Amino acid sequence: MSQDAAHFDPNSVGLKTNNIFGLPFSIDESALVLLPVPWEVTVSYRNGTARGPENIFKESLQIDLYDADLPDTWKNGYYMLAEDKNIRKKSNYLRQCAELIITCLSDGGDVTCNQQLAGKLQEVNEGTTMMRDWVQEMTGTLLRQGKLVGLVGGDHSTPLGLIRAIGEQYPSFGILQIDAHADLRNAYEGFKYSHASIMYNVLQEVPQMSKLVQVGIRDYCDEELDVIKSQPDRIHTFFDSAIKERQYMGDTWHHICQDIVAALPQHIYISFDIDGLDPKLCPDTGTPVPGGFEMEQVFYLFKTIHNSGKKIIGFDLNEVSCGEHTTDGIDAIVGARVLYKMCNYLTASKDR
């Protein structure tokens, strides 16, 4: 342990010179490493999520480290890597290309009839493939070194590379997807690796992913519903409306959480789109949808997983926007708290 870590006071102010949550650990001292991916090329409504990692980092310094459910878990060490400026630069350029394509489609145009736009679509698809491979290489290296790994997006397309890398380490695992959207569209808006296609691509590219359990879904299309119905053994969706109806009839969130956990296999990867929460907690997210959860409900679900004895093996947190549409900054504050809780539960699972 470094001298800084040995003399660290968890009750003191979060120091900007330290790492995520104000922790003093180096990457070598940390059990868990976070990869920031400042990427938002294919977002279909509002921009801003590329700045999610930096804003979450900033707000993380305000988090009190005591966690009543998992006290002192932070002592295992958490470390966030520095953002790759080339990834941000590539995202900014490709986002401009994608906006031209989305505008054309919104106006009723045909991208394939426009040579310039067709070229830009190819650029976007090649660039998003590059990002997927970069994430897989970065996270795969960390996993092979024995690190726990979490990813901080960026839009929801960002974790595919990590999920592929997890598949290289685990012959079978499930995904708990907390989300307002099903994300099962095939190449939405022509973008193969669209943020709206993440789980479709997981189903296609990660055969080790044996069970996708979706929770809070409340905005989806016929195409996505067909995918869900066509793969009942591999996809189990807890729609937001069905959850609410059970509660209206007197069922408890505890019982619903038990049903969610029962649908999951032993090894669980968590993919958390912040818009799974009530939009009052994430008003700036790219595509907010009325409904969703309180933060404490999701934390109770995590607790139920932990108490079940099942193992969390990785996670991503995405779609936390930067506050361009409101001024209170609640998105990053909520995002930092969600991230800390996910770090704690992932680390608490490491010896299972």
What's the pLDDT score for residue 95? 95
Domain ranges, ordered by start, for the chain = 3-348
What's the pLDDT score for residue 17? 87
In angstroms, the CA 126 to CA 123 distance is 5
> Given strand 209-217, what is the order of strands in its sheet?
78-80, 32-37, 148-153, 311-318, 267-273, 173-178, 209-217, 235-239
Closest listed residue to residue 43, CA positions, set 316, 206, 286, 245: 286
Beta strand 32-37 pairing with 148-153: parallel
What's the pLDDT score for residue 319? 96
DSSP state of 313: E
Q: Which fold has domain 3-348?
A: Arginase; Chain A (3.40.800)
What's the pLDDT score for residue 5? 74
Residues 6+ apart with CB under 8 A from 83: 36, 38, 53, 54
The count of residues in the chain is: 352
In angstroms, the CA 311 to CA 236 distance is 19
Closest listed residue to residue 64, CA positions, set 337, 349, 344: 337
Contact 275, 231 (CB under 8 A): no
Instruction: Give the N- to C-terminal CA distance of the chain in Å, as an integer.
Output: 24
What phi and psi values does residue 177 have, to the nearest 5 degrees? -105, 115
Q: What is the pLDDT along the chain (352 residues), one digit of tens a residue?
A: 565 677 899 998 888 889 999 999 999 999 999 999 999 999 988 888 999 999 999 999 999 999 999 999 999 999 999 999 999 999 999 999 999 999 999 999 998 888 999 999 999 999 999 999 999 999 999 999 999 999 999 999 999 999 999 999 999 999 999 999 999 999 999 999 999 999 999 999 999 999 999 999 999 999 999 999 999 999 999 999 999 999 999 999 999 999 999 999 999 999 999 999 999 999 999 899 999 999 999 999 999 999 999 999 999 999 998 755 555 678 999 999 999 999 999 999 998 8
What's the pLDDT score for residue 341? 98
Closest listed residue to residue 297, CA positions, set 350, 237, 247, 234: 247
Identity at 310, one-letter amino acid code: K
